[in-house]
Amino acid sequence: MNVPLFVDPHCHILPTGLDFLKLHLGSARSREDVLELVQQRLGMLSEGEWLLAVHYDQNKFDDGVHLTRHDLDKISASRPILLRHSNGHAGIANTAALRAAGVSAETPDPSGGEYRRDETGEPDGVLFENASEAVSMAIPSAPFDTMVEAIMEAGRRMAALGICSAADMMTGQRGLENEIKAYRQAAEQGCEIKLALYPLWASVFGPRGVGPERLAEMKAELDPSRIKICGVKLFADGAIASGTAGIYGSYVGGDPNAKTSGSIIYAPEKLNQMVKTATDAGLPVSIHAIGDHAVDLVLDAFELSGAASRHRIEHAMLLSDAQIERMANLDVQCVVQPEFLLRFGHAYVRQLGPERASKLKRLRSLVDAGVRLSLSSDRPIVPGDPRDGLRAAIQRPEGFDPAENISFEEAVSGYTTWAAAVLGESPSTQLQSIDRESLLGASISR
């Protein structure tokens, strides 16, 4: 079957390129495995360089319990070490990394985040949500040329998978002007994919934000045939694998120190105000909402904005029938990542139990209700080959309700026509060949 080239409407392009420079912990199945890999990496670093690792996942351990700073301090008490969770919503820092970020027993938890603490009140190195981001901000920024090359490399690798266009969903983590400049230069140097950017809400409207007027000026400086700014990004909750997605009810497994119902990043009144601020400035809003509690808050904010059809909800993993019907009635765009079921299914079952986990990512119900659905990767959280996402969408892994499978044709549309529409584009006129039976028979990417 000949289909258009793929579009990935939710990923992280610069981080994808930068992650190729970091230690990968995806193969670790125990705390001992993690520590061995970190120890091996230590000798490869230059003096003063942080040891950075990605794809850490405590759910792969037999007991599901996190490492702490004390474990990492045994590797090095002087070099900062930071392990990033595979879902991007948690981290583990050693004492040196906490010290570099100015975190101590007296440091309050950041808004929307938590420094987990021991019985004495000292941070134990486990970081949830914005606490992980706060420590990450102490890492020296990559040089500008490295950023440009990282974007170019991510583009090369995505194009090799048949992707022609992608959206970066957190532009501005290290300064919006500088990052947009790097994306613009990559586009001008011939980046192999078309670039769509969703700056973080705070990078535009926050105390240190550039403001909507300056954002409009930067947008006007871009060649829209190669790169464009589409809207702004917010987070309403965390992730299931780290026990931080905002859910009704309680988590049933995993780390005993996790909050029982996850995290809601903003009070409803604050979220409503943030969405209205962006809407009034003419900017569509894309909001990360994984748990059913968070989804309700986001739909409320979208409805109150008076422009729900312009906005996007990201992930929407745990949904009730009523929420799906409401999404359809509001005409909200919904962007889902089927590949998560292949990569994190073990974590979902551990955290939610098999019954609730089986109902995650209700693609069939969303399509049947008429929700404007598109499919994406969220790379570098996952490897991001669209074929893996297609496979998970049309043949859900064992333990996940097969009644929520969608057809091959619908899944292809989710990664092509529907995904392009979310970015305000038409599907690519370039075609590639995909065979359903070969797709289902292939092994997942590593």
Q: What is the pLDDT of residues 419-443, one digit of tens each?
A: 999 999 999 999 999 988 888 887 7
Residue ranges making up the domain that contains 235: 1-18+141-446
Last residue of a domain, one of 76, 108, 136: 136
Predicted pLDDT at 259 = 62
The whole-angstrom separation of Cα 398 and Cα 242 is: 22
59: CATH: 3.10.310.70
Task: Output the CA torsion 118→124→128→132 (10° steps).
Answer: 150
Domain count across the chain: 2
Predicted pLDDT at 255 = 62
- Asked if 408 and 436 touch (Cβ cutoff 8 Å), the reply is yes
Asked whether residue 208 falls in the same domain as residue 308, the answer is yes
Note the pTM of the prediction, 2 decimals: 0.88
Asked whether residue 217 falls in the same domain as residue 265, the answer is yes
Predicted pLDDT at 446 = 58
3-state SS, the chain, equals CEEECEEEEEECHHHHHHHCCCEECCCCCCHHHHHHHHHHHHCCCCCCCCEEEEEECHHHCCCCCCCCHHHHHCCCCCCCEEEEECCCCEEEECHHHHHHCCCCCCCCCCCCEEEEECCCCCEEEEEEEHHHHHHHCCCCCCCHHHHHHHHHHHHHHHHHCCEEEEEEEEECCCCHHHHHHHHHHHHHCCCCCEEEEEEEHHHHHCCCCCCHHHHHHHHHCCCCCCEEECCEEEECECCCCCCCCCCCCCCCCCCCCCCCCCCECCCHHHHHHHHHHHHHCCCCEEEEECCHHHHHHHHHHHHHHCCHHHCEEEECCCCCHHHHHHHHHHCCEEEECCHHHHHHHHHHHHHHCHHHHHCCCCHHHHHHHCCEEEECCCCCCCCCCHHHHHHHHHCCCCCCCHHHCCCHHHHHHHHCHHHHHHCCCCCCCCEEECCHHHHHHCCCCC
Last residue of a domain, one of 111, 136, 161: 136
Asked whether residue 352 falls in the same domain as residue 369, the answer is yes
Predicted pLDDT at 440 = 84
The whole-angstrom separation of Cα 91 and Cα 191 is: 31
Q: How many CB atoms lie within 10 A of CB 435?
A: 11
Dihedrals φ, ψ of 150, to 5°? -65, -40
Asked whether residue 5 falls in the same domain as residue 100, the answer is no
The whole-angstrom separation of Cα 110 and Cα 134 is: 8
Asked whether residue 82 falls in the same domain as residue 2, the answer is no
Asked whether residue 296 falls in the same domain as residue 359, the answer is yes
Predicted pLDDT at 442 = 76
207: CATH: 3.20.20.140
Asked whether residue 329 falls in the same domain as residue 441, the answer is yes
Predicted pLDDT at 260 = 86
Give the residue from 61, 59, 62, 81 showing the smallest Cα distance to 70: 81
Asked whether residue 264 falls in the same domain as residue 124, the answer is no
Give the residue from 273, 281, 270, 276 showing the smallest Cα distance to 229: 281
Asked whether residue 406 falls in the same domain as residue 432, the answer is yes
Residues of the chain with pLDDT under 50: none
Asked whether residue 398 falls in the same domain as residue 314, the answer is yes
Last residue of a domain, one of 136, 151, 167: 136
Give the residue from 163, 190, 201 showing the smallest Cα distance to 423: 163
Predicted pLDDT at 234 = 98
Q: Hey, what are 118's tokens?
A: 């021991």
Predicted pLDDT at 254 = 59
Q: Which residues on adjacent β-strands are paired with residue 431?
A: 4
Q: Hey, what are 291's tokens?
A: 């748990």
